Amino acid sequence: MAHFYDPNGDIHTEMELDGVGGACVLVKADVHRDGAMSPTFPFYHLIETEGFAKMTKRLGYQVVGLPNYLIYHYNE
């Protein structure tokens, strides 16, 4: 998704994804209420954030990324 970054692009631009990385994941509370979690066990051969994306899609939710939304890591 990093290859789609446009410094002048709209930060609300969405693109559909099959999986997610663990840097920053924004999740609506209803998704967790329906039982989605980051599995520590193999879920369709995937674990953690990749398994979470697969689980949410199996529950009928859409997984999207925000290619123009930058996340910064800060060390204290």
Neighbour count for residue 14 (Cβ, 10 Å): 13
Question: What pTM, to 2 d.p., does this model score?
Answer: 0.76
Strands (E), 1-76: 15-16, 64-65
Give tens-digit pLDDT for 65-76. Answer: 999 988 888 876
Q: Which residues fall within 8 angstroms of residue 71, CB to CB, at 6 or more apart?
A: 23, 24
32-41 per-position pLDDT tens digit: 999 988 888 9
Higher pLDDT, 2 or 12: 12
